[in-house]
């Protein structure tokens, strides 16, 4: 599906710059828009920003690791690569506090889904 005008296509470099400039706070917004994109891509309300935020706080971040795995797995399936190592790489990155890199990879995959292959 090629839809370069989709609101879900975002600048990865822009997201990274704003996340660094806001000391990570912008990344919360990035999570929100990625959850919205995934729900639209899956054509169902599988992910909830409120649930993600609440469970991430309650579990001191452990739920976020699981969430990133699920997102990575669903993106791999949507892109026709169900055997991809990407979900495991994303979990590893999150475990080493490199979650903004995980979000950049996920945004790249969202952009690919809509036919955009640039930053």
Instruction: Give the mean model confidence (pLDDT) for residues 28-53.
Output: 97
pLDDT, tens digit (0-9, with 9 covering 90-100), for 66-94: 999 999 999 999 999 999 999 999 999 99
**Distance between CA atoms of residues 16 and 26, nearest Å:** 9
pLDDT, tens digit (0-9, with 9 covering 90-100), for 17-29: 999 999 999 999 9
Backbone angles phi, psi at 43, to 5 degrees: 60, 40
Query: How far is C-alpha 8 from the geometric centre of its chain's CA atoms?
Result: 11
Report residue 6's pLDDT band, with 50, 70 and 90 as the boundaries.
confident
pLDDT of residue 5: 72
Task: Determine contact, residues 114/9, Cβ cutoff 8 Å.
Answer: yes
Backbone angles phi, psi at 103, to 5 degrees: -65, -35
Instruction: Give the mean model confidence (pLDDT) for residues 42-68.
Output: 97
What's the whole-model pTM score?
0.91
pLDDT of residue 4: 61
**Distance between CA atoms of residues 73 and 84, nearest Å:** 8
């Amino acid at each position: 599906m090629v839809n370069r005008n989709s609101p879900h296509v975002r600048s990865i470099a822009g997201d990274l710059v704003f996340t660094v400039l806001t000391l990570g706070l912008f990344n919360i917004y990035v999570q929100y828009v990625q959850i919205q994109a995934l729900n639209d891509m899956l054509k169902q309300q599988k992910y909830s920003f409120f649930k993600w935020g609440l469970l991430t706080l309650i579990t001191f971040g452990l739920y976020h690791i699981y969430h990133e795995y699920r997102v990575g797995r669903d993106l791999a399936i949507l892109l026709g690569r169900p055997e991809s190592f990407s979900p495991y790489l994303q979990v590893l990155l999150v475990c080493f506090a490199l979650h903004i890199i995980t979000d950049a990879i996920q945004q790249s995959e969202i952009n690919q889904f809509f036919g955009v292959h640039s930053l």
